[in-house]
């Protein structure tokens, strides 16, 4: 075996081997629960009562003290009643506090205060991560892998997406579970998997970033809805010729008197970064916008006629 390859392999094995022991203290495990929704015309949780292609059960993770949990809306959206099973097996009735179809997120509340995991920063590519979820309704289990990509958008699951992609094994029932880094910090909520002919994991799995989870959950808890405002522009992908020179998205429409026009944007401008995030496609730009609250301000990096400029846009309150 090539010595350089052997050295790299040894580092990776050491990193992966250390991740679970560092990540999974009792607080992390106790912060995740199994979700047992009662769908109309079907049994509560477990197989074979689930509709084809849907999870028989799901998962949720504590997001705030006081029994607040965040989960995937597709788990509980049609439920007439919701029960959660704690990590120690006890059952608690859950109340659906709020839902956001645009991000497929929902907030539940139970009469049980659970440990809230520490929130971690956006993980680096290749960083070790582990999941905790109720895969196939068998109860909580742990799988580990690495971060394959960050800031994924336009995948096609939800209108607003800000995903962390991982190869850690994720299967039906894990939706709503936790994605944690090697220090046990929450970096995402499990949301979706790419499959071919079945629901089996093929290593392309997605977790909603904690930035978007917290943005949505905080509004659902305090307002019972997600407060959003429009930036006042419409964007389009660059054509192939333009992409030979730069990456970004083009401004093709401005709302008269809107926030974008007031910020100084003009038709034809190419946005290359928004709120500190490089922009490669329209879905990525809109994800960055929706991470910002009404009334908040963010920077726009643009190219206009070959010149780079920076503008400041404030979303309407």
Q: Which residues are catalytic?
A: 74, 104, 175
Encoding tokens for residue 244?
């030979």
What stretches of the chain show up as alpha helix (H) in DSSP? Answer: 3-23, 26-30, 73-76, 210-223, 240-243, 259-263, 282-290
Q: Distance between CA atoms of 300 and 282, rounded to whole angstroms?
A: 14
In angstroms, the first-to-last Cα distance of the chain is 61
| Residues with Cβ within 8 Å of residue 77, at least 6 apart in sequence | 99, 101, 106
Q: Tell me the helix, strand and coil percentages in the chain, rounded to 5.
A: 20, 35, 45
Nearest to 36 by CA among 90, 101, 111: 90
């Amino acid at each position: 075996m090539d010595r350089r390859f052997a050295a790299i392999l040894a580092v990776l094995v050491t990193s992966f081997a250390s991740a679970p022991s560092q990540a999974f203290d009792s607080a992390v495990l106790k912060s995740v629960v199994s979700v047992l929704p009662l769908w109309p015309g079907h049994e509560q949780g477990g197989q074979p009562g689930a509709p084809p292609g849907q999870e028989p059960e799901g998962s949720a993770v504590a997001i705030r003290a006081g029994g607040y949990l965040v989960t995937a809306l597709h788990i509980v959206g049609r439920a007439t009643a919701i029960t959660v099973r704690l990590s120690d097996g006890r059952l608690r009735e859950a109340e659906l506090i709020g839902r956001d179809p645009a991000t497929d997120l929902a907030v539940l509340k139970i009469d049980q205060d659970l440990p809230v995991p520490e929130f971690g920063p956006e993980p680096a590519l290749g960083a070790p991560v582990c999941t905790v979820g109720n895969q196939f309704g068998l109860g909580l289990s742990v799988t580990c892998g690495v971060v394959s990509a960050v800031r994924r958008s336009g995948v096609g699951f939800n209108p607003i997406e800000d995903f962390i992609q991982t190869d850690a094994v994720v299967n039906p029932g894990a939706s709503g579970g936790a994605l944690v880094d090697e220090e046990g910090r929450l970096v995402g909520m499990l949301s979706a998997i790419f499959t071919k002919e079945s629901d089996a994991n093929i290593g392309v799995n997605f977790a909603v970033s904690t930035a978007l989870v917290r943005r949505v959950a905080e509004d659902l808890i305090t307002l019972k809805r997600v407060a959003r405002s429009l930036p006042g522009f419409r964007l389009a992908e660059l054509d192939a010729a333009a992409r030979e020179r730069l990456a970004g998205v083009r401004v093709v429409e401005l709302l008269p008197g809107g926030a974008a026009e007031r910020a100084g944007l003009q038709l034809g401008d190419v946005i290359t970064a928004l709120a500190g995030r490089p922009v490669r496609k329209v879905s990525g730009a809109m994800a960055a916008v929706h991470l910002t609250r009404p009334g908040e301000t963010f920077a726009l990096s643009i190219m206009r006629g070959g010149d780079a400029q920076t503008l400041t846009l404030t979303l309407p309150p």
